[in-house]
């Protein structure tokens, strides 16, 4: 038995922690035997000294075991797989991916997060669907996954409670940006859902947590190594967040884009590329296909034959929404009072987007939050967003704003226009997918 300051001192001085010390730290997080000051000091020591892979594995497993760990054995006979994204603006990929992969025969129990700061959250997007309960009981969640192949719900207090306290202290001690701590935070929650395999979508760019490729690679490598070390078959894709993903950013507007994507009405090409790449990785990791090409073909088939759309609708019904959402969604979803065009102020090519600023413009409209207690207005956001590389002439619509008031709309238009560059000459646009890490 160590006293907290001995464990902190060991880490501060650069000594690797033993499993016993790590278990004691996590126990201290849950029981309060580590005070806030001691947790903060420990987080800073980890931030400064880093952690070896086996320390990160031990921290992840201890945090995972601090709460309920789902077990699908003797309940579901099939591969259990999930995807996690480090987040961005317009990232509605989970909403499409989960039903697609379920339609191909895997089971996807997905725990999603709320938006914070410039990044949106899948839980908030789902809450714009009338009746949708993102907090069902764990039994209801498990039964839904068993019945239809997937369920997407919000983070619960039962899963990895140690992370909740550690994260709230990291948030106020300038230790959020530690790769070992981000790794353990993400994976403790994900692995608590009892996965066989996981695919990470590590976003890179001016709208992502990681703004440099080196940092994105380091995080992807850390997560892949730790998750595999913890026994979960994991790979990662590094994908672009130097522009909004898809044509919308907000909550209800992203649900509309999701339905239009699943039903084939509109599939924005960059978004489609990310969804297909991740679906193929998930199907390969689940041994449903032999290679990525087959995975892509199977995922495309699940879209084309309507099965993925059907599963999305069933999931909404099972979790409290209407039974016919695919036909009634436009009447069901809340709409904003004011909708205005955002027009190009000059002719040329869209060459840059300050993606983070566009995310913050959604927050300013009321569609996101700066602290965990804020309420979200599901109706607001941006639609009809034109991607980088598009040639426009002055006056063309480059996006539309959905706002509560005329003033909000005008402010958002000014923010959007200053976040987008239009230049006379085209420049090279970043790839959609940078790298796969396995």
Nearer to ligand URA by Cβ, of 115 and 136: the residue is 115
Q: Respond yes or no: is residue 235 known to be catalytic.
A: no
- Taking each helix axis from N to C end, the angle separating 292-304 and 269-285, rounded to the nearest 10 degrees, works out to 120
- Report in angstroms how near the CB of residue 346 gets to ligand URA at its nearest: 38
Distance CA(204)–CA(356), nearest Å, equals 12
Distance CA(169)–CA(42), nearest Å, equals 10
Catalytic residue among 11, 118, 125, 189: 189
Nearer to ligand URA by Cβ, of 2 and 167: the residue is 167
Catalytic residue among 142, 190, 267, 400: 190
Nearer to ligand URA by Cβ, of 181 and 385: the residue is 181
Distant-in-sequence, close-in-space partners of 141: CB < 8 Å, separation ≥ 6: 109, 151, 153
Distance CA(161)–CA(164), nearest Å, equals 5
Catalytic residue among 83, 92, 267, 378: 83
Q: Are 55 and 22 in contact (CB under 8 A)?
A: yes
Q: Respond yes or no: is residue 402 known to be catalytic.
A: no
Distance CA(426)–CA(385), nearest Å, equals 18
- Report in angstroms how near the CB of residue 22 gets to ligand URA at its nearest: 17
Q: Respond yes or no: is residue 122 known to be catalytic.
A: yes
Catalytic residue among 185, 222, 235, 239: 185
* N- to C-terminal Cα separation, the chain: 38
- Report in angstroms how near the CB of residue 371 gets to ligand URA at its nearest: 16
Q: Respond yes or no: is residue 189 known to be catalytic.
A: yes
Q: Respond yes or no: is residue 82 known to be catalytic.
A: yes
Catalytic residue among 11, 56, 84, 125: 84
Handedness of CA 131, 136, 140, 146 (dihedral sign): positive
Distance CA(433)–CA(420), nearest Å, equals 22
Strands 150-154 and 249-250: unpaired
Q: Respond yes or no: is residue 190 known to be catalytic.
A: yes
Distance CA(420)–CA(198), nearest Å, equals 35
- Report in angstroms how near the CB of residue 94 gets to ligand URA at its nearest: 14
Catalytic residue among 11, 56, 60, 85: 85
Nearer to ligand URA by Cβ, of 47 and 329: the residue is 47
- Report in angstroms how near the CB of residue 416 gets to ligand URA at its nearest: 26
Closest Cα to residue 205, out of 429, 388, 355?
A: 355
Main-chain phi, psi angles of 340, to 5 degrees: -135, 150
Instruction: Count other Cβ atoms within 10 Å, centred on residue 56.
Output: 26
Q: What is the largest CA-CA distance in the chain?
A: 70
- Report in angstroms how near the CB of residue 181 gets to ligand URA at its nearest: 6
Catalytic residue among 114, 118, 170, 402: 170
* SS3 category, 80: strand
- Report in angstroms how near the CB of residue 262 gets to ligand URA at its nearest: 26
Q: Which residues make up the interface to ligand URA (CB under 6 A)? A: 167, 181-182, 185-186
Q: Respond yes or no: is residue 135 known to be catalytic.
A: no
Distance CA(115)–CA(367), nearest Å, equals 9
Nearer to ligand URA by Cβ, of 46 and 344: the residue is 46
Nearer to ligand URA by Cβ, of 186 and 279: the residue is 186
Nearer to ligand URA by Cβ, of 185 and 197: the residue is 185
- Report in angstroms how near the CB of residue 187 gets to ligand URA at its nearest: 9
Catalytic residue among 56, 82, 119, 197: 82
Tell me the H-state helices in 339-421.
355-365, 406-419
Strands 197-204 and 233-240: parallel
Q: Are 372 and 114 in contact (CB under 8 A)?
A: yes
Nearer to ligand URA by Cβ, of 75 and 167: the residue is 167
Report CA-CA distances (Å) from 149 to 82, 201, 311: 12, 21, 8
* SS3 category, 46: helix
Question: Measured at CB, which residue is nearest to ligand URA?
Answer: 185
Instruction: Count other Cβ atoms within 10 Å, centred on residue 213.
Output: 14
Catalytic residues: 82-85, 122, 170, 185, 189-190
């Amino acid at each position: 038995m160590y006293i907290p300051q001995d464990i902190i001192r060991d880490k501060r001085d650069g000594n690797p922690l033993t499993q016993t010390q790590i278990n004691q730290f996590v126990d201290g997080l849950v029981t309060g035997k580590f005070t806030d000051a001691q947790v903060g000091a420990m987080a800073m020591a980890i931030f400064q000294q880093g952690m070896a892979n086996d320390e990160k594995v031990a921290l992840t497993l201890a945090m995972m075991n601090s709460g309920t760990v789902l077990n699908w054995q003797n309940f579901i006979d099939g591969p259990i797989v999930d995807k996690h994204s480090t987040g961005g603006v317009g990232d509605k990929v989970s909403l499409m991916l989960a039903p697609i992969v379920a339609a191909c025969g895997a089971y996807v129990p997905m725990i999603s997060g709320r938006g914070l700061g410039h990044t949106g959250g899948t839980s908030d997007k789902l809450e714009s669907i009338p009746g949708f309960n993102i907090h069902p009981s764990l039994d209801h969640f498990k039964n839904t996954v068993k019945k239809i192949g997937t369920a997407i719900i919000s983070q619960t207090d039962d899963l990895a409670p140690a992370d909740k306290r550690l994260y709230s202290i990291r948030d106020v001690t300038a230790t959020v940006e530690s790769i070992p701590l981000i790794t353990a935070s993400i994976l403790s929650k994900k692995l608590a859902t009892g996965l066989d395999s996981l695919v990470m979508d590590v976003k890179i760019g001016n709208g992502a947590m990681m703004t440099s490729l080196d940092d994105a690679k380091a995080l992807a490598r850390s997560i892949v190594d730790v998750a595999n070390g913890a026994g979960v078959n994991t790979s990662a894709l590094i994908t672009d967040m130097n522009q909004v993903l898809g044509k919308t950013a907000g909550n209800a507007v992203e649900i509309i884009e999701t339905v239009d994507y699943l039903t084939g009405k509109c599939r924005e090409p960059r978004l489609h590329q990310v969804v297909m790449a991740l679906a193929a990785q998930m199907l390969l990791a689940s041994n449903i296909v032999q290679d990525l090409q087959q995975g892509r073909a199977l995922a495309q088939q699940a879209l084309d034959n309507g099965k993925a759309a059907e599963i999305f609708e069933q999931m909404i019904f099972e979790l409290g929404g209407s039974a016919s959402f695919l036909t009634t969604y436009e009447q069901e979803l809340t709409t904003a009072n004011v909708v205005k065009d955002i027009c190009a102020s000059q002719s040329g090519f869209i060459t840059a987007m300050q993606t983070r600023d566009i995310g913050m413009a959604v927050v300013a409209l009321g569609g996101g939050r700066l602290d965990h207690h804020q309420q979200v207005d599901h109706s607001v956001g941006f639609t009809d967003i034109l991607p980088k590389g598009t040639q426009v002439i002055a006056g063309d619509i480059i996006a539309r704003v959905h706002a509560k008031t005329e003033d909000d709309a005008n402010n958002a238009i000014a923010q959007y226009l200053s976040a987008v560059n239009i230049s006379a000459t085209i420049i090279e646009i970043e790839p959609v997918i940078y790298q796969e890490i396995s």
